[in-house]
Structures are given as C-alpha cells and as structure tokens.
Structure 1
Amino acid sequence: MMRDTRHLAGRARLLALLLCAGLVLAGPVAGQDEARLVVSSAAGEPLVTLPMAEGEGWCLEWNHSVEGFAVLDCYRHRDGRMVLERSHLPDFAAGLDHIPGRGRQVSDGEGGYWIEDLDEPVPGNAYRLRVGSLAVDHRLVVDGERISLSRLAADRAVTLRLVTP
C-alpha cells in the first residue's frame, strides 16, 4: 500500500512539473503580447480580430452608395498608433473630392485618384462605423484578403480599434 502511495505522489509531482514547463514554454496567452486590429459590436463583442504588427497596414473598402464603385481608406500601425495614410477614390462622385491642404492628390492612371500623405492619427486608435448593407459591403482588406463586415453586422454600429500591448 505504501508503495502505491509513493508511486501516485511521484506521478502527481511529475504531472505538476510537466504542466508548469508547458506554461513556461507557451508564454503569455496568445494575443496579449501582440498588437491587433479588433472590430467589435456596440455591445463590445469581438467580430473580427487580426494580428497587426508595427508597420503593417489594412484598408476599409466599400462600394459608393450612388456610383457603386469601390472606395478605400488605408491605415497603418505606426508607432503604436492607427494612422490614416491614404484614400483611393475612383471618381469625383458625390462626396468624393480632395480637400486642399489635406494630403496630395495623385492620379491612379485609370481615371481615379489617390490622396497620399494624409498621415492622420486616429484619436484614441479607434472609430465607430455604421456598417452598410451588402450593397455597400464594408470590408476589411488585409494582405489582399477581404473580410465583409456587412455580412457580420449590416446596418449596425461597430468599433474598429487598434489594440496595442
């Protein structure tokens, strides 16, 4: 009987040691030590979470409500801040014009234009967006991949936030 107790105690110590070693090797909980772009519902529920290391960027793309073509606002994680870098406007349609003194307008070679050098930090690293219907299809574009926010939260408010450690 004594032998069984020592055997079980030894196994328990070994199991505890392995568990502790696993925690040390695993490090902090995933996502806590890296910056990420989070889109959350008005209730604070995360809808999209993407790693967003220093220097990486993403765009918010949507279809213009009148003309239907894609419009882009492009951001970058710069020095722990969400920064609006540039916007792409394929036409001078309603509401889409360059404001003198805010970046510089450059032709895209296809009849539209980029507004470059905006370099506007987003206050608080976050902004609210009323997500459009599927016709508008607000979407995140990261590394050429598109995530439709309209499929997740059409006609609802969300917050886009750059969370930094």
Structure 2
Amino acid sequence: MLDSIYTRILVAVAVLALAVGGSAAVPAGQALVVEDAETGERLKTVAIEENSTVSIEYNHSVEKTRVLDEYTVRNGELEMTRMEFESYGWGLPARAEVHKENGSYVFDPEGSWEEIYVKPGYIAGHKLHVDDETYDLVALSDARSVRLRVTNQSVLDAALH
C-alpha cells in the first residue's frame, strides 16, 4: 500500500516536471524586455507582436520640449520609424528632411537595432510606450541606464513575467 502511494507521487512529480519542461519549450510569442544595462536584471517584460509600436518619450534637457522616438517591432528588432520633436536643440537632427505635423517636426529616420540603450532622467521624465500602455521608465529603473530588446518567450516565461 505504501509503495502504491510512493509510486503515484513519483508519477505525479514526473508528469508535473514534463509539463513545466514542455511549457518552457513552447513559444508563446515575442516580448519587449527592459533590463538594467549594468546588471542585466529584468525590470519589465511586455508581450508584443510583430508591428507593435515601442516609443520613448522625454523632455529635451535644454529646449524643455517634448521628443518622441518611435520604433516598430520587425523581425525581432526595433526599427526606428518616426521621430517627433517640437524645437531644434542639441542632439536633434538639424539636417534631417522633416515636415511639420500638429506643431511638431516629424521625420522617418533609418535604422534597426537588436537592442537600444536609454538613460532615463528625472528632469527628462522618460516614458516607455508599448502600443497603448505607458510605463514610467524613470521609476522603473530608478534613473539607471536600461537596455530594451525584443526576445521570444516561452509559455513558462509568459506565465512567470
């Protein structure tokens, strides 16, 4: 009788281990991962899809005007597809071919990256937009540098994060 109980427990543990192991191998889709750039600690994981929009919004430190850098998720990378800024200042594209739209300068910059580094700041008030959701990047990182990247996540990863 005792052997029967131990056998059932061992079978249950084996089935559970197979289920967890199997879910770790089953892809659930893509995710945007925000990590501490120095330690690699995961600060945020957000489920995304192909063509999801990821944006960094902040106030220019000198001009005190809004800047928005917009990326589109394509083939596991972040492709920069739009930049908006309200005034020209240090670090902004003075020679880019821009057009005016709703009071802002707008252009479509070139470039696609596997990862993007951002140094959130209290004065700049960096925000991360992922599709329709907004996250306070300064509070999330305690104003430390972060790395943003697209990754494939398993069903288990999705459940844990």
Alignment TM class, shorter chain as reference: 0.7 to 0.9
Residue aligning to 2:39: 43
**What is the one-letter code of the residue matched to 1:126?**
E
What's the secondary structure of 2:98's corresponding residue? strand
| 37-46 or 11-20, which deviates more | 11-20
What's the secondary structure of 2:5's corresponding residue? helix
Q: Is the 8 A contact 2:77 2:149 kept in 1?
A: no
Task: Pick closer, same or farther for the CA change 1:19–1:39 going to 2, 3 Å.
Answer: closer
C-alpha displacement of 1:6: 6.5
Q: Is the 8 A contact 1:63 1:70 kept in 2?
A: yes
Residue 112 of structure 2 is aligned with which of 104, 115, 121?
Answer: 121
What's the secondary structure of 1:151's corresponding residue? helix
Q: Is the 8 A contact 1:86 1:115 kept in 2?
A: yes
What's the secondary structure of 1:28's corresponding residue? helix
C-alpha displacement of 1:128: 2.1
Q: Percent identity?
A: 28
Residue 57 of structure 1 is aligned with which of 53, 66, 91?
Answer: 53
Could you list the runs of 5+ residues in structure 2 that have no partner in the other structure? 154-161
Aligned-residue Cα RMSD (Å) equals 2.9
Residue aligning to 1:152: 140
Structure 1 length as normaliser, TM-score? 0.74
Could you list the runs of 5+ residues in structure 1 that have no partner in the other structure? none
Q: Is the 8 A contact 2:77 2:115 kept in 1?
A: no
Highest Rg: 1 or 2? 1
Higher RCO (CA-CA < 8 Å; seq separation 6+) = 2
Counterpart check, 1:132 vs 2:121: yes
Q: How many residues align?
A: 152
C-alpha displacement of 1:43: 0.6
Distance in structure 2 (CA, Å) of the matches to 1:35 and 1:113: 32
Residue aligning to 1:162: 150
Distance in structure 2 (CA, Å) of the matches to 1:75 and 1:120: 10
**Greater strand percent: which structure?**
2
**What is the one-letter code of the residue matched to 2:106?**
W
**What is the one-letter code of the residue matched to 1:108?**
E
Structure 2 length as normaliser, TM-score? 0.75
Residue aligning to 1:112: 104
